Structures are given as structure tokens and as C-alpha cells.
Amino acid sequence: MASDLFESPDYYNIDDLLSEEHKLVRTATRDWVKKEVSPIIEDYAQKAEFPTQLIKGLAEVGAFGPYIPEEYGGAGLDQISYGLMMQEIERGDSGVRSTCSVQSSLVMFPIYAYGSEEQKQKFLPKLASGEFLGSFGLTEPNFGSNPGGMITNFKDMGDHYLLNGAKMWISNAPFADVAVVWAKNEEGRIHGLIVERGMEGFTTPETHNKWSLRASATGELVFDNVKVPKENLLPGRSGLGAPLSCLDSARYGIAWGAVGAAMDCYDTALRYAKERIQFDRPIAGFQLQQKKLAEMITEITKAQLMVWRLGTLKNEGKATTAQISMAKRNSVEIALKIAREARQILGGMGITGDYSIMRHMMNLESVVTYEGTHDIHLLITGMDITGIPAFK
């Protein structure tokens, strides 16, 4: 990829709404992304390989459990700092941000929120330091948007649980040391179990041939009579609301992250349009290109304001599931549109790996689907404003 010249757009002086700590966190993450992610990411995406060497740096920059208290190894930051980190990391690559979302919000968060003290002490510091990589198993081959129908199950065998079933489309699965797995007990009640690599009958085959999130490892979690110690059940919460509450936290991070991808596409297209000469003038001087660029910065600015406000609500413990859904859906939608328009501004160059745009565009095709599809988030808004669920 060409050298990383990224300059962050801030059309409405949103920086004035950020604290010094927020700006420091953002600068540190941005500098790290420019130094460690940008130079290698295109190559890893082309090879469809997960850049495992980034794990240590992600931990050092605080991207594993930014809002988890320091006593458990987290960074103890607020939700705006978490959001800004996800924005900067996804500005580099959605797949790298995925790793952080899963580790922080889908593995550390449930252990922190619903785990026993022993579970927190055992797993959180190692997850925060990157010694352990985690994955989150909710989706199954026949239950994606409708996770409540899952068939993965466990039986109480007296001194342990016996886990059977399979999860698919699981980020980090092939490399994960631990997996937070959602399964039904004999009464059909959903619980979270911490499954550890090495447990007999637990395998994590990799999913190949993806055109999207190629620098993120995706796989299955397969459980064939896995004996899970009883102390690995998350005791604090059961029911579908438990995994869905983790999704709230991850979707919030994605709402910020997708803005980062949009910012990178806009910034790249603006710079290119000012430099690229056709018909003896920069293409940025043509009205059609200005329309594209002006609409991009308008949508980015609206999305920046939305996620900032959502962050303030989240800091106050007031952000609702429906508000988070709206922001996740909006950010990904505008990012995808901006990626497509930006790609066109670059003409033929836009399809190459010399620029980040096509990679962002392909990555965003996963982001618009995972953590609740575009349709599901619209239906969550619909249910919230009408009071009538239209899922079933």
C-alpha cells in the first residue's frame, strides 16, 4: 500500500468535544496504526492471513479491554476513548478492529460482567495482555439472525458439563485460546461457557475463500462431547439477553469503527482528486467529483456527531440497544457508500491494493452483516418506535 498520509477530517470541530485524554488515546492509536498496520495490512489481506504479530501491539496500545478496569488488566478508559480506538484501528483495517471488538466486548466484557471472581482473575489479565486470544460463539449454521433457536447444548454430568454442537463464522476462532460459547442447558435456557483450547473434542477449523475481512481469521467452533469444568460456566446471567448485551458493546465499537473506514476512504479520495489531472485540470475541480466528496464529508460529519453523542450516553449508562443499532447501521451504511464512491474517484487505481479503498469496501460487506445485519438493525429501530416486533 502507498505510504499512510491519513489526515483526519473534522468539519464540525468535533475535537472541541473531546477531552485531552480522548485526544491522547486517539493520537497514540493513530500513530500505532500508521507505524504497524498500514505498512503490512494490504499484504496480509492479499494473502488472507491474520497478522498475529499485531496482537502484542494492540494489547500495548490498550485496545484489548479499553473500558475494563485496570485491576483486571484493562485500560480503565471511558466509552469515547474506546470508540476513538475502534475508529482509528478500523481506519487501518476492519479485520484488525474485529479482533479487538471480539476480544474486548465479546470475550472480556461477558467475563467481567457475568463471570465469577476466579474467572475474572484467571482470564481477564491474560486477555488484556494478548497472552490469550478469545472468540465468541453465538452464530450457528442454522441460526444467524435468530440466535435464540440455537441447538448447541450442554448436559450436567455431575462433576462437569458435556458440551455438543457447532458454531460458525467465528472471528479469531482458529487462533483463539479461549471461547465464550453460548449453549442451552437441558431446560433450554441459554448460558455462557468458557471453553479452552486443548479440551478434548474441541476443534476450530478455519473458514477459507473469503473475499472480505481477509486479514481476520474466521472459523468454526466444534464441540464433540467436550467436558467443560463446572467452574467455567458464567454464573452472573443467563437467557438470550446475556449474549445480546455483549453485542450492544461490540456494536457500539463498530459504530465508531466504520466511521474510521469511511474517513480513510474520503481522505484518500480527496487527496487523489486534487492530484489527478484529466482534461488539463485536477479532477477535484469537476462538479461531479465535488458532489461525491461533499456528500462524503457531510455523511461522515453526521456520523461523527451521532457516535460522539452515543458515547456520552453510554458513559452515563443511558445508551439503549435501539440507539446503538441505529448508529451501527448508519455508520456501516455511510461507510459502504463512501467506499464505493471513493473507489470510483480513483478510477482504475481504485481497484488496486496500492490504495486502501477496495479493501475497506470488501471488509465492510462483512461489517454490514455481522453483529446483526443491516435489516435486523432496521427492525430493531422499527420495533422501538412502533412497539411491534416484526422479526417473526
Q: Which stretch binds ligand TGC (CB under 6 A): 139-147, 178-186, 227-235, 328-336?
A: 139-147
**Is 164 among the residues that bind ligand TGC (CB under 6 A)?**
no
118 is annotated as an active-site residue: no
Residue 366 touching ligand FAD (CB under 6 A): yes
Closest separation between CB of residue 251 and ligand TGC, Å?
8
What is the rounded distance in angstroms from the CA atom of residue 342 to the CA atom of residue 176? 35
Which residues in the 139-178 window bind ligand FAD by CB under 6 A?
Answer: 139, 144-145, 169-171
- Which of the following is catalytic: 36, 88, 140, 371? 371
Smallest gap from Cβ 382 to ligand TGC, in A, equals: 11
- Binding at 65: pick from ligand FAD, ligand TGC, none (beta carbon under 5-8 Å per type): none
User: Per rule CB under 6 A, is residue 239 in the interface with ligand TGC?
Assistant: yes
Residue 358 touches ligand FAD, criterion: CB under 6 A: no
In this chain, which of 152, 171, 330, 363 binds ligand TGC, going by CB under 6 A? 171
Q: Is 387 exposed, middle or buried (0-12, 13-18, 19+ CB in 10 A)?
A: exposed
* Helices marked H in the chain: 20-32, 38-47, 54-60, 79-92, 94-101, 109-114, 117-128, 241-275, 287-315, 321-345, 357-367, 374-386
C-beta closer to ligand TGC: residue 38 or 216: 216
Q: Which residues in 62-81 contact ligand FAD (CB under 6 A)?
A: none
**Could you say whether residue 114 binds ligand FAD (CB under 6 A)?**
no
Q: What is the CA radius of gyration of the chain?
A: 21
**Residue 192 pairs with which residues in a beta bridge?**
182
Q: Is 387 left (phi over 0), alpha (psi -120 to 50) or beta?
A: left
* The entry of ligand TGC, ligand FAD, none that residue 17 binds, CB within 5 to 8 Å by partner kind: none
- How many of the other CB atoms lie within 10 Å of CB of 267? 21
Long-range CB contacts (< 8 A, 24+ apart) of 302-306? 302/330, 302/334, 303/258, 303/259, 303/262, 303/327, 303/330, 303/331, 303/334, 304/10, 304/12, 304/14, 304/259, 305/12, 305/14, 306/255, 306/330, 306/331
Question: Residue 137 binds which one of ligand FAD, ligand TGC, none, with CB within 5 to 8 A depending on kind?
Answer: ligand FAD
Residue 319 C-beta: closest distance to ligand TGC, Å: 11
The 279-318 site mask, x for binding ligand FAD (CB under 6 A), equals: ----------------------------------------
213 lies in the binding site for ligand FAD (CB under 6 A): yes
Residues 134-172, buried b or exposed e (16+ Cβ, 10 A)? bbbbbbbeebbeebeebebbbeeeeebbebbbbbbbbbb
Q: Which residues are tagged catalytic?
A: 371
Interacting residues with ligand TGC (CB under 6 A): 98, 101-102, 136, 138-139, 145, 147-148, 171, 239-241, 244-245, 247-248, 250, 321, 370-372, 376, 380, 391
